[in-house]
Amino acid sequence: MTLILGLETSCDETAAAVVDDTLHVHSNVVATQFDLHERYAGVVPEIASRAHLEKITPVVTEALERASVDVRDLDAVAVGHRPGLVGSLIVGVAAAKALAWSLNLPLIGVDHVEAHLSAASLRGTGYRVQGSGEQDKSETRVNPEHFSRHGAVPPNPEPRTPYPALGLVVSGGHTSLYRVHGPRQLEFLGRTIDDALGEAFDKAAVILGLGYPGGPRIDERSTQGDPAAVDLPRPLLDKDSLDFSFSGLKTALLYAVRGQPVGRGKDARFERDHTHLTEPQIADFAASFQAAAVDVVIEKLNRALYPEAHGLNPWTTKPRSIILGGGVSANRELRRRVQTFAGDHGLACRLPDPAFCIDNAAMIAGHAHALLAEGDTADLTLPVIATTRV
């Protein structure tokens, strides 16, 4: 059995995990920073990198302990080295280099976006979430009963992905479509030209006074609202475009909640804000915003699946599955709609367990097994890069 220790510090989660070559997750520890960034309604890079420095050693220690693994049992060390916040990436990459050098182990650099599309293949659901303060949050374990209670779609029982696949990564920093011919063979199709979907959810939550992080809060409040209550646009760009745009949808929500602004720039003033809304109205706005955003995603999937109808290059081999990855792939309505879409078109659907939707190190270690099998290792000059490879 080959064991890889994975590290992930691309944004505001400090994570470590141990995964074997069957993609069974022995441990997956994530230290969150939600409380540090909540007052800013978004991630502050300097604060994030300092928190990584504080947490990286205890998180790695806990991941090894929970996996009942000694460092001498490891076969390689993997780290997400792109894309992400450079200051955050530096912490994880430096730690991985130090471990690999001191233990004389192969070092593997992993593209964070590619790893998100491997997350649905991971086996195991137990993980540990830590807060950024002294008191850790309670352990979280997600199982299929959780999904049944909340009307969401559980992870796929058969994680192996039939290729080729249509891949979608949706997170706070990425909303991208790919043709996936294999774990490392990604063909780029389209991405957001402004806000990523997760970022749009965060901004919508601020507009509605729901706080940060916005994605889970929009998801939760939407269950209490009417998705048809508010008429919001579905920005699709040109008829042949596979790119995404959520900025206009966010602005439409802003004006619907606050009214038209008076004045310009820093002097602009609105006639009202979320405090003028009732709780049922807030739920309706949340549900309507979520429905509009998911409608856009489904339409883009449809265009990507049938490119000839939109004047785009056809598939060489018809896709056999859809893969979803990224933090927003935990959204219950998105999961439900994507699975329905896949079923309607005769495709397998691969959804990551919620433990592997948010930024985590299990996906880094899991994807690293494919790289290690191909001999794709790095040396101690492994760089941190702000952009993705694909």
Domain ranges of the chain: 3-142+355-373, 148-352
| % of the chain residues with pLDDT over 70 | 91
| Residue 148: predicted pLDDT | 39
The pLDDT value recorded for residue 159 is 55
Give the pLDDT of residue 136. Answer: 39
Element (H, E) at 176: strand 175-182
The helix/strand/coil state of 172 is: coil
3-state secondary structure of 49: helix
* Residues recorded for the chain: 390
pLDDT band at 260 (very low <50, low <70, confident <90, very high): confident
Mean of the pLDDT values across residues 331-356? 95
- Homologous superfamily of the 3-142+355-373 domain (CATH): ATPase, nucleotide binding domain (3.30.420.40)
What confidence tens digit (pLDDT) does each residue in 112-165 have?
999 999 999 998 855 555 554 433 332 333 333 333 334 445 555 555 789 999
- Residue whose C-alpha is closest to residue 300's, from 248, 249, 244, 349: 244
CB distance 371 to 184 below 8 Å: yes
Count CA within 13 A, CB hemisphere, residue 385.
Answer: 13
**Which of 169, 143, 170 lies closest to 157, judged by CA?**
143
Residue 23 — pLDDT band, cuts 50, 70, 90?
Answer: very high
Residue 376 backbone zone (phi > 0: left; psi -120 to 50: alpha; other: beta): beta
For 297-323, write each residue's pLDDT tens digit: 999 999 999 999 888 889 999 999 999
CB 161 within 8 A of CB 352: no
Of the given ranges (33-37, 92-96, 209-213), which has the lowest mean pLDDT?
Answer: 33-37
Residue 33 or residue 382, greater confidence: 382
Could you tell me the pLDDT band of residue 39, with boundaries at 50, 70 and 90? confident
- Establish whether domains 3-142+355-373 and 148-352 are of one fold: yes
When mean pLDDT is compared across 13-22, 263-272, 293-302, the lowest value belongs to 263-272
Cis peptide before 154 (omega within 30 of 0): no
* pLDDT at site 150: 42
Report the pLDDT value the prediction gives residue 125, as an integer from 0 to 100. Answer: 57
For 148-352, which CATH class?
A: alpha beta
Segment 67-86 mean pLDDT = 96
Q: Residue 109 is encoded by which pair of tokens? A: 């650099």
Average pLDDT over residues 265-287: 91
Binning pLDDT at 50, 70 and 90, where does residue 339 land?
Answer: very high
Please state, in angstroms and rounded to a whole number, the distance separating the CA atoms of residues 32 and 34.
6
Q: Which residue has the tokens 């796929």?
A: 156
Higher pLDDT, 253 or 33: 253
The pLDDT value given to residue 34 = 72
303 phi-psi bin (left φ>0, alpha ψ -120 to 50, beta other): alpha
Per the DSSP assignment, residues forming a β-bridge with 192 are 244
Tokens coding 42:
């978004």
Looking at residue 151, its pLDDT comes to: 45
Q: Map tokens 């490879």 to a residue.
A: 389
Q: What is the pLDDT of residue 129?
A: 59
With 0-12 CB in 10 A as exposed, 13-18 as middle and 19+ as buried, what is 141?
exposed
Task: State mean pLDDT over 175-195.
Answer: 94
Mean predicted confidence (pLDDT) in 9-15: 93
For residue 239, count other CB atoms closer than 10 A to its CB: 9
Beta bridge partners of 18: 5, 27
| The pair of three-digit structure tokens given for residue 63, joined into one six-digit string | 């991941």
What is the predicted pLDDT for the residue at 203?
A: 95
β-pairing, 107-111 vs 76-82, is parallel
pLDDT tens digits, residue range 209-259? Answer: 998 889 999 999 999 999 999 999 999 999 899 999 999 999 999 999 999
